[in-house]
C-alpha cells in the first residue's frame, strides 16, 4: 500500500500542477486567476473550453488524411486508432486520381465494422462517429451520381446515435443532433421550412446547423434547405404557392452555392407547379429563370423534355407551352414597342400579331445598327431573350429600322419596325428569297413582291390579311383555337388532307371548300352559284382558264364546261 502521507503529497502535487495548467490557460485567454468567479469572464472561459473540447468539428490536415486513405486503399487495413479516426473524417475526400472511400463498397463497409468494434470504448467510438458525421455532412451529394453508400451511412449514424452518447460527459453537439434527428432521415430539412418562411434564418442556419452541429460551408445541407422550401411550397394551394414564388426565385438567384443541376431541378418544379394553377398570368421572374437555367423552350426542346416532367415522369408539355407562349408574347411586344423606329408602340400591329402567338412556330429578329448596339438595359434584355434568333439587317435604310420574321405553319411573315413599311408573306414550303440560316439578312430580299405577297397597313388591313392567312395556317384567332393539330412538333400546324390541293396566292395551302370558294370570290372576283340544295351542281362561273385556277379546281373535283365554267356535284 502507498502510505497516506505519500498519497497526500502526490495528490497535492497533482492539484498544484492542475492549478498551474489552469492558470496558464487563463493567462493565454488574457484572464487573471484572481478574476475567477466573475460571471462574464467565466462564461468566456467556458466558451473557449467548449471550443477546444466540445466541438462537432475537428481540424485535421488533409495531407495526413490522404496519406492514411492511400495506405488503407493499398493494404485494406487501419492498424491504429489514429488511422481509423483519420479515415472516418476522410470518407468523402478524393485522392489525386479521384478515388474516394465513399465509392469503394468493400473498404467503406469494412470501415464501419471497425468503428462498430469501438463501442466498448465509448470515447473512441464517439470520435469515430464524429468523423463519420463530418463526412456525412461534407459529402458532395448533388455533384455525384451515386448516393448508395451515403444513404447507408445516414442509416448507420441514425442507428448508432444512442451509442455515441454513452461517452461521458455527453457532448453538446450530440445532444443537439439528438434533438434534430431529422438531419439523419429522408427529409432532413423539411422541419425548418416554416421557420425560414417566417424569417427565423439565424436560429436555423447559425445557431443550430453552423455553430451547433458544425455543418460546413460546402455541405449539401444548405442546398437541401432550398430544395425543401420549394418542395413544400409546391404542395401548397395556388394562393400560398404564388405568395412564396417571388421569394423562392430570389433565394435561387442569391444562393451561389447551389449546384447547376439542383437549380434546374428547383426551377423545373416551380414551373410545373405554376402550370397547374387555375390562373396562369405571365410571371416575368419565373419566365426569365426558366430561360436562364433550362433554356428557351422552343429552341431547347430536348432540355425541357429532360428536366420539366409531370408526376408520371413524362415531359410536361403544358408547362413548356406556357413558358413558350410567355416568351413569344414578350418578344412580339418588344418588337412593336421597343424596336419601333421612334420608340413608340405600334399598338395596332402589336395587337394583331399577338392573336397568332399560339401558332407562331419560330421567329427571328433582324436588327439594324441602332438596336444591335444600343447599351440600355431594355435593349440588352431583349437581345438576351432573343439569343439564338438574332440576325443583322443589312441595307436597313434608317439605322432604327428592324425586321421581325415569323413562321406560322406553312407561311412566313415579315414585318418591319419603321412605320410605312408593308408586311410580306411567303410560303415556308417553297424557296424563299432569303436564308434564315445565315447570321445576316438583306432588307432588299425581305421585300420580294415576285415570290411573296405584300400587305399595306392601311384601311381594314387586318381583315384582308386574315382572309388570306387564317385558311393557310388552319387557325382563326377569333375562334381562339387551332382548327387541326398535328401530333408531333412543338406547335400546331395544319396537316393537309390527302389528294387535296389548295389555292396558291403565294403557294400556301387551303383545306376547306368554303375557304376555296371565298378565295375565288374575293381574290379572283369570280361568281359562285351553288345549286346543290335544289339537286343541281356547284358552279364557278368564269370564261377564262388560268393555270393557277385550273390546278385548284381540278384538285377539288371540278369539271370544266366550255363557255360556262367549272362545276361539281
Q: pLDDT tens, position by position, for the chain (569 residues)?
A: 545 455 455 555 666 665 666 666 555 555 455 455 566 555 555 455 455 456 777 778 889 999 999 999 999 999 999 999 999 999 999 998 999 999 999 999 999 999 999 999 999 999 999 999 999 999 988 877 778 999 999 999 999 999 999 998 889 999 999 999 999 999 999 999 999 988 888 888 888 999 999 999 889 999 999 999 999 999 999 999 999 999 999 999 988 888 898 999 999 999 999 999 999 999 999 999 999 999 989 888 999 999 999 989 999 999 999 999 999 999 999 999 888 766 667 789 999 999 999 999 999 999 999 999 999 999 998 998 898 899 999 987 788 889 999 999 899 999 998 888 899 999 988 888 999 989 999 988 999 888 889 999 888 899 999 999 999 998 988 644 444 333 333 333 333 333 333 344 443 333 346 666 766 776 667 778 877 666 567 788 876 555 557 667 776 667 777 767 777 76
The burial of 136, by beta-carbon neighbours within 10 Å (0-12 exposed, 13-18 middle, 19 or more buried), is given as buried
Residue 204: CB atoms within 10 Å: 19
For residues 401 and 417, the answer to whether their CB atoms sit within 8 Å is yes
Largest CA distance in the chain: 145
Enter the pTM of the model: 0.70
Residue 242: CB atoms within 10 Å: 17
Q: Which helix (H) or strand (E) holds 366?
A: strand 362-367
Q: What is the CA angle 317-320-322, rounded to 5?
A: 105
Residues counted in the chain: 569
Cell numbers for 280, please give them: 396562369
Please name which of 444, 461, 452, 457 lies closest in space to residue 366, comparing C-alpha atoms. 444
For residues 329 and 282, the answer to whether their CB atoms sit within 8 Å is yes
Amino acid at each position: 500500500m502507498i502510505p497516506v502521507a505519500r498519497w497526500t503529497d502526490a495528490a497535492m502535487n497533482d492539484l498544484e500542477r492542475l492549478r498551474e495548467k489552469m492558470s496558464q490557460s487563463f493567462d493565454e485567454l488574457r484572464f487573471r486567476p484572481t478574476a475567477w468567479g466573475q460571471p462574464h469572464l467565466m462564461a468566456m472561459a467556458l466558451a473557449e473550453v467548449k471550443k477546444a473540447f466540445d466541438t462537432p468539428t475537428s481540424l485535421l490536415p488533409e495531407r495526413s488524411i490522404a496519406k492514411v486513405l492511400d495506405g488503407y486503399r493499398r493494404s485494406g487495413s487501419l492498424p491504429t486508432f489514429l488511422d481509423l479516426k483519420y479515415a472516418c473524417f476522410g470518407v468523402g475526400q478524393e485522392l489525386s486520381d479521384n478515388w474516394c472511400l465513399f465509392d469503394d463498397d468493400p473498404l467503406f463497409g469494412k470501415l464501419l465494422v471497425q468503428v462498430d468494434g469501438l463501442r466498448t470504448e465509448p470515447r473512441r467510438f464517439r470520435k469515430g462517429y464524429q468523423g463519420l458525421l463530418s463526412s456525412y455532412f461534407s459529402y458532395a451529394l448533388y455533384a455525384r451520381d451515386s448516393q448508395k453508400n451515403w444513404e447507408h451511412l445516414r442509416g448507420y449514424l441514425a442507428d448508432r446515435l444512442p451509442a455515441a452518447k454513452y461517452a461521458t460527459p455527453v457532448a453538446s453537439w450530440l445532444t443537439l443532433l439528438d434533438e434534430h434527428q431529422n438531419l439523419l432521415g429522408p427529409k432532413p430539412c423539411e422541419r425548418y421550412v416554416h421557420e425560414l418562411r417566417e424569417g427565423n434564418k439565424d436560429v436555423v442556419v447559425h445557431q443550430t446547423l453552423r455553430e451547433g452541429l458544425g455543418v460546413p460551408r460546402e455541405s449539401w445541407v444548405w442546398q437541401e434547405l432550398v430544395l425543401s422550401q420549394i418542395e413544400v411550397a409546391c404542395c401548397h394551394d395556388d394562393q400560398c404557392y404564388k405568395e412564396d414564388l417571388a421569394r423562392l426565385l430570389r433565394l435561387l438567384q442569391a444562393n451561389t452555392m447551389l449546384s447547376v443541376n439542383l437549380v434546374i431541378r428547383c426551377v423545373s418544379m416551380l414551373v410545373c407547379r405554376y402550370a397547374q394553377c387555375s390562373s396562369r398570368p405571365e410571371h416575368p421572374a419565373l419566365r426569365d429563370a426558366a430561360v436562364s437555367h433550362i433554356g428557351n423552350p422552343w429552341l431547347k426542346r430536348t432540355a425541357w423534355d429532360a428536366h420539366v416532367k409531370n408526376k408520371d415522369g413524362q415531359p410536361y408539355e403544358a408547362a413548356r407551352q406556357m413558358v413558350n407562349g410567355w416568351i413569344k408574347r414578350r418578344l412580339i411586344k418588344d418588337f412593336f414597342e421597343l424596336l419601333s423606329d421612334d420608340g413608340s408602340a405600334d399598338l395596332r400591329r402589336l395587337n394583331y400579331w399577338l392573336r397568332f402567338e399560339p401558332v407562331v412556330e419560330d421567329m427571328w429578329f433582324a436588327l439594324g445598327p441602332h438596336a444591335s448596339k444600343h447599351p440600355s438595359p431594355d435593349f440588352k434584355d431583349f437581345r438576351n431573350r432573343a439569343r439564338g434568333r438574332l440576325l443583322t439587317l443589312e441595307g436597313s435604310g434608317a439605322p432604327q429600322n428592324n425586321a421581325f420574321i415569323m413562321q406560322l405553319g406553312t407561311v412566313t411573315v415579315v414585318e418591319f419596325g419603321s412605320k410605312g413599311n408593308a408586311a410580306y408573306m411567303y410560303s415556308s414550303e417553297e424557296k424563299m428569297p432569303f436564308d434564315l440560316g445565315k447570321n445576316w439578312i438583306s432588307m432588299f430580299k425581305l421585300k420580294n413582291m415576285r415570290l411573296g405577297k405584300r400587305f399595306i397597313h392601311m384601311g381594314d388591313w387586318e381583315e384582308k390579311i386574315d382572309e388570306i392567312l387564317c385558311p393557310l395556317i388552319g387557325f382563326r384567332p377569333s375562334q381562339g383555337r387551332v382548327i387541326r393539330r398535328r401530333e408531333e412538333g412543338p406547335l400546331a400546324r395544319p396537316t393537309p388532307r390527302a389528294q387535296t390541293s389548295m389555292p396558291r396566292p403565294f403557294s400556301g395551302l387551303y383545306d376547306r371548300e368554303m375557304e376555296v370558294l371565298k378565295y375565288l370570290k374575293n381574290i379572283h372576283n369570280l361568281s359562285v352559284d351553288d345549286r346543290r340544295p335544289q339537286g343541281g351542281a356547284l358552279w364557278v362561273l368564269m370564261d377564262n382558264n388560268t393555270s393557277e385556277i385550273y390546278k385548284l379546281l381540278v384538285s377539288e373535283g371540278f369539271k370544266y364546261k366550255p363557255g360556262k365554267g367549272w362545276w361539281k356535284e
